[in-house]
Structure 1
Amino acid sequence: MVSEYDFWLLDLDGTLVDVEWSYTREVFDRVGDRLGREFSDQEADIIWNGLTGSRDRQLEAWGIDPTEFWAAFHEEEDPLVRAEQTYLHDDAAFVADIDAPVGLVTHCQEFLAEPVLENVGIHDWFDARLCCTEQTGWKPDPQPVESVMANLGVGNNGHRGVLAGDGANDVGAAWNAGLDAIHVERVGHERRGQCVLGDYRVRSFDELF
């Protein structure tokens, strides 16, 4: 499976790593205090894991201004605490053995992503990394994916690549950039409320091998 592709791109949160629920709950409690609005466990789960696709559209549907929410959210996130509360999925270990260029394309902001990568010991797994911003675009926009491909030297020049992630936005970004897509379903179809299609649909990367 691994050798079928000339390069691999991966998402981070929910794909390779996850954070303890207690951390998520505490962050949403503090964000709720800032915004004057309580978040239920279900709402926190939906936003943290992007269960309904676009987080901004979901926030707007709840009557919450996304810009205000994310400003409060990032103010309340402590990079070191988050890193300490983050764990690596056992089935992600195959990435370390990929004998091809490997890139990371994540919505996790750089001030959070770097401590997480260091804490779980996977910083050196990636030949190129990109933390999406308004300037780079957000998945499913292919722009951040294509940017990492360019950094890896595997642009649209006949190389066959794949992007693995836990959300519909990851699959969309892969297809929009002309790549195969692996969807790893970490939360379950029942909790997500829908099925996410992909060229491969697995509950664990172990199923690929």
Structure 2
Amino acid sequence: MDGEYDFWLLDLDGTLVDVEWSYTRDVFDRVGERLEYKFTDREADILWSGLTGSRDRQLRQWGIDPDEFWTVFHDEEDPMVRAEQTYLHDDAAFVADLEEPVGLVTHCQEFLCEPVLDRLGIRDWFDARLCCTPETGWKPDPNPVYRVMDDLGVGENGHAGVLAGDGAGDVGAAWNAGLDAIHVERVGHERRGRCVRGDYRVESFDELF
């Protein structure tokens, strides 16, 4: 794939990095106590990894108000602890070698994302980055993608780009923005409960090169 695209966009959590399960379990235990809801391991996994698509829709199906959940969830997350328990996937190292412009489009909130980038030493991998908010929209909405493309200077003139991520929302955002999509399956089809389509479907970025 070397030279096939004029620019690359990437998701962060579940795509380039992941968090130790002990951290996830601890956060959901504390959130559950405050919401008076006991999250099972499966439910915590579904929400953390976005296995069923829209997390807000999933929360409503469980009778949990999404706004209340996210307020409590972000209040219970410790940026420095999360950064300490976040690790970089070995196959993500290719990003450092890309010669094309590279952008980051992530649902990870800025107060959590920044310490992770610093601790892992990957901030300079990206020429532009955006942490999605209600104002920017959320993938598969293409607007966050367009904003990063504009920051990279590739929003016009027919530049060919690709977006890589671990979820259906990443693929949807890519296609909605007119880009090719790479789906990297980190959790496996059995655990996800379905297959996610993409222009490329891989279990490791090493398969692309």
**Which residue does 1:53 correspond to in 2?**
53
Shift of 1:101: 0.4
**Structure 1 residues 122-201: aligned runs within 5 Å:** 122-201=122-201
In the TM superposition, residue 15 of structure 1 has moved relative to its aligned partner by 0.1
**Which 5+ residue runs of structure 1 have no aligned equivalent?**
none
Letter in 2 for 1:189: H
State percent identity of aligned pairs: 81
Q: Scaled by the length of structure 1, what TM-score is found?
A: 0.99
Q: List alignment gaps of at least 5 residues for structure 2.
A: none
**By how many angstroms is 1:157 displaced?**
1.8
Structure 1 position 9 matched with structure 2 position 9: yes
Measured in 1, the distance between the counterparts of 2:2 and 2:39 equals: 40
Letter in 2 for 1:35: L
Q: SS of 2:29's equivalent? A: helix
Could you give the per-residue CA deviations for residues 149-187 of structure 1, whole angstroms, max 9, x where no partner exists? Answer: 000000132100000000000000000000000000000
Q: Which amino acid aligns with 2:70?
A: W
Matched position secondary structure for 2:18 = strand
Output one character per residue of 1:27-64: Cα deviation in whole Å (capped at 9) or x when no partner: 00000011011000000000000000000000001000
Figure out how many residues of one structure are paired with residues of the other and give that number. 209
> Structure 1: how far apart are the matches of 2:116 and 2:15?
13
Residue in structure 1 matched with residue 101 of structure 2 by the alignment: 101
Q: Deviations over 1:97-147 (max 9, x none)?
A: 000100000000000000001111100000000000000000000000000
Query: Which residue does the alignment assign to 1:119?
Result: 119
CA RMSD of aligned residues (A): 0.4
* Moved beyond 6 Å, runs of 4+: none
Q: TM-score, normalised by structure 2?
A: 0.99
